[in-house]
Amino acid sequence: MFQKEEMAANGTGVTSPRTPLKSILTEKAKGIPNDSAGTVKAQTIEELHSLQRKRSAPNTPLQGTAGAFANLSEDERQRQQLQSISASLASLTRGTGPKVIRGDPGGGKYQAVSHVAHHHHHIEAPVISVSDSSLKFTHVLYNLSPGELYEQALKYEKGSFLTSTGALATLSGAKTGRSPRDKRVVIDDTTQDELWWGKGSPNIEMDEHTFMVNRERAVDYLNSLDKVFVNDQFLNWDPKNRIKVRIVSCRAYHSLFMHNMCIRPTPEELENFGTPDFTIYNAGQFPCNRYTHYMTSSTSIDINLNRKEMVILGTQYAGEMKKGLFSLMHYLMPKRHILSLHSGCNMGKDGDVALFFGLSGTGKTTLSTDHNRFLIGDDEHCWSDDCVSNIEGGCYAKCIDLSKEKEPDIWNAIKFGTGETLSSLFLDHLTWTTIIVLGLIFLPLPPPFVSAVLENVVFDEHTREVDYTDKSVTENTRAAYPIEFIPNAKIPCFGPHAKNVILLACDAFGVLPPVSKLSLAQTMYHFISGYTALVAGTVDGIKEPTATFSACFGAAFLMLHPTTYAAMLAEKMQKHGATGWLVNTGWCGGSYGSGNRIKLPYTRKIINAIHSSSLLKATYEKTEVFGLEIPNEIEGVPKEILRPENAWADKEAYKNTLLKLAGLFKNNFETFTEYKIGEDKKLTEEILAAGPIF
Ligand SMILES: Nc1ncnc2c1ncn2[C@@H]1O[C@H](COP(=O)(O)OP(=O)(O)O)[C@@H](O)[C@H]1O
Ligand SMILES: C=C(OP(=O)(O)O)C(=O)O
Ligand SMILES: [Ca+2]
Ligand SMILES: [Mn+2]
């Protein structure tokens, strides 16, 4: 009887007599007050150490909450959870999943699944032989906390270090950027008709069978390891359109990265998680077999929409997982008439929402992180009939040349510690009517315990201070931090319909004006064009400044034809009266090499003028060739830089460069001239006429 009660009380079925150690009192000690707070409730050192780590969720989920597992005993619930993970890792040829147990094979203390874990805990890690896979156990490190993941990384992953601010610095291996040429999408009867294939499309086809070959390769590799990390998390803050994802990976770094980047479930949500909507198998440390059909390198990133799975082989760059899930959302959301956007998003205290579109490195993260506004998200959003919502739970900032002075919020986010939810100071500025009218809910959540991951940065061996100017490993150094690390993040991350749509282009040619106001047709023209000219790339291998056109400012992630997204954007902008802007965050006064990059403080002034509506009231002049409306003045921005031709010393060179760029725009748009944008024939014609005229 007593035993039963104790089992129910600690929820594990493990019973241990907890008689405290008797303290020995000598004659001398009698009468002397004991300064210790009591005696230790442990009989052995192991037990003492086991007391140090308090059992908590998710290992000990809360009792009594309703949901998928509501009527199950704790043992049964955990058994089903392990079964689900085993099924995720199942070999399709052998027809079975591995024997999974919870816990760290290195002797760590995570094995909450009592009976299974206890029996096999002492098994020595065998020399791995795949043919013995049915005999061995795969340890599952399930939704570990940042602290646990830190320990795993520091203990077992070479190249993992603590920086002076407590961030985890790590290396992503040979790949320090995405590998879009190695992306494959399974073509089947459904996707053949639904998806965007062919010229300009990022979706390079692969057949179902080849996917299975790569999946098996990844699963076999994962099964051959002593341990794998499993994250069960969410995408999309819009509760009606939340997607459940499971990420299986082999590195603590990957698990921590996704912990930061996806939405973190509460213990209750995790308990009721059930079957994921999509699963990633990240076996990035292991290459694909180049003799496999469709493979052109040893890297392969494969999406199978029918199986709801993604396989990663031959790259450890964590951005592949983040952007792979983004591709998934670009498929799932439009099916629900929701527009998925490669954009940053923030909101003013009056509820004015701005979207920041732009290719990698154009300023989405930098400019959406604004101390005077609420951050909704830095990179991936959905625009539904109800709201604009962030897909992710974290930000992924470029950190080359990061400075505390210029970007204090990002700088301060690169740490280990607790996140700040919306500061009360900021709340004071919000009137209650605003809160009620906008239906904003600011949850008084306890600050979560989280930590940033720094990829491929260089730091001082002794002080552990990061040198953000050092490009020794790569130019594409990155920080991934949970959104709560930005003090004025808006949690939950959604807001009302967008008022301003800002298209960012980093124009290395230096001929686009720092800011221009766009008509709806021009907005669509530039959205479909998706221009930028970067100097250094996120995309693996590209280091030179080149013009890039990427439809919808994110062709690499589109699943459907660009005009599908464009038509939805046009409709939403019309419906909600949003204004489009083109902002050049790149060069002025000359091309890359002779001119200079526009100073961030000037760009911020421009963006402020857009937010405050003051720019809307300015007087404008139209430019030649591109027909862009340029404001005559903006407070705090030198007048000379607003008109590019004034900023260039060599007017002849300016004109030639302008025409060169116009030609590139025209060539690029040729593929789109035969498409209709939605039902509106008039708009389609206007869009075609909204490009450069020369
Ligand atoms: N005028 C400017 N506007 C925006 N970003 C600038 C500007 N000048 C320099 N930068 C730098 O360019 C980079 C923009 O990168 P980021 O904001 O991460 O882009 P994205 O999120 O679009 O990939 C940052 O490193 C930022 O400091
Ligand atoms: C993660 C990426 O996004 P961005 O550079 O747009 O922040 C990427 O392109 O790899
Ligand atoms: Ca991006
Ligand atoms: Mn970004």
Q: What is the pLDDT of residues 562-593, one digit of tens each?
A: 999 999 999 999 999 999 999 999 999 999 88
pLDDT at 131: 54
What are the sequence ranges of the domains in the chain? Answer: 1-52, 57-142+173-336, 498-689
pLDDT at 103: 86
- Given a cut of 70, whether residue 6 has pLDDT beyond it is no
How far apart CA 426 and CA 245 sit, in angstroms, is 33
Q: Whose CA is nearest to atom 4 of ligand 2?
A: 360
| 402 Cα to the center of ligand 1, angstroms | 10
The residue annotated as part of the active site, out of 102, 139, 175, 178, is 178
Helix then strand then coil, % of the chain, to nearest 5: 35, 20, 45
- Given a cut of 50, whether residue 691 has pLDDT beyond it is yes
Q: Which residues lie across from 396 on neighbouring strands?
A: 480
**Residues 175-204: pLDDT tens digits?**
999 999 999 999 999 999 999 999 889 999
Percentage of the chain surpassing pLDDT 70? 80
Look up 365 and say whether it is catalytic: yes
Q: Whose CA is nearest to atom 2 of ligand 1?
A: 600
How far apart CA 392 and CA 382 sit, in angstroms, is 10
Look up 323 and say whether it is catalytic: yes
Name the band, by pLDDT with cuts 50, 70 and 90, for residue 5: very low
Q: What's the mean per-residue pLDDT of the chain? A: 86
Query: Cα separations (Å) of 253 from 154, 622, 644?
Result: 10, 50, 44
**C-beta separation of 153 from 256 below 8 A:** yes
Cα 402–408–412 angle (5° rounding)?
A: 90
Joined tokens for residue 595 = 């001119």
**CATH number of the domain at 57-142+173-336, please?**
3.40.449.10
Percentage of the chain surpassing pLDDT 90? 71
pLDDT at 679: 82
| 538 Cα to the center of ligand 2, angstroms | 7
**Residues 605-625: pLDDT tens digits?**
999 999 999 999 999 999 999
Query: Per-residue pLDDT averaged across 632-649, rounded?
Result: 96
pLDDT at 675: 87
How far apart CA 332 and CA 265 sit, in angstroms, is 21
Query: Cα separations (Å) of 35 from 22, 81, 89, 280, 388?
Result: 16, 45, 53, 53, 57
**C-beta separation of 250 from 285 below 8 A:** yes
| 193 Cα to the center of ligand 2, angstroms | 28
CATH of 498-689, picked from 3.40.50.360, 3.30.300.20, 3.90.228.20, 3.40.50.300, is 3.90.228.20
Count CB-CB contacts under 10 A for residue 678.
17
Query: Per-residue pLDDT averaged across 281-307, rounded?
Result: 95
**Nearby residues of 82 by Cβ (< 8 Å), 6 or more positions away:** 100, 101, 102, 113, 116, 140
Look up 342 and say whether it is catalytic: yes
Which ligand ends up closest to the CA of 369? 1
**Residues 361-386: pLDDT tens digits?**
999 999 999 999 999 999 999 999 99
Query: Per-residue pLDDT averaged across 136-142, rounded?
Result: 91
Q: Given the CA of residue 554, which atom of ligand 2 is nearest to it?
A: 6
pLDDT at 321: 98
Cα 440–441–447 angle (5° rounding)?
A: 135
Ion ligand 4: residues, CB < 5 A:
364-365, 379
Q: Which residue carries 């919306």 as its tokens?
A: 422
| 360 Cα to the center of ligand 2, angstroms | 5
H helix runs in 430-493, sequence order: 432-438
- Given a cut of 90, whether residue 43 has pLDDT beyond it is no
Give residues (CB < 6 A) around ligand 2: 178, 319, 322-323, 360-361, 365, 379, 396, 538
Mutational pocket test of ligand 1: of 364, 368, 398, 581, the residue with most ligand atoms within 8 Å of the beta carbon: 398
Q: Whose CA is nearest to atom 7 of ligand 2?
A: 360
Look up 579 and say whether it is catalytic: no
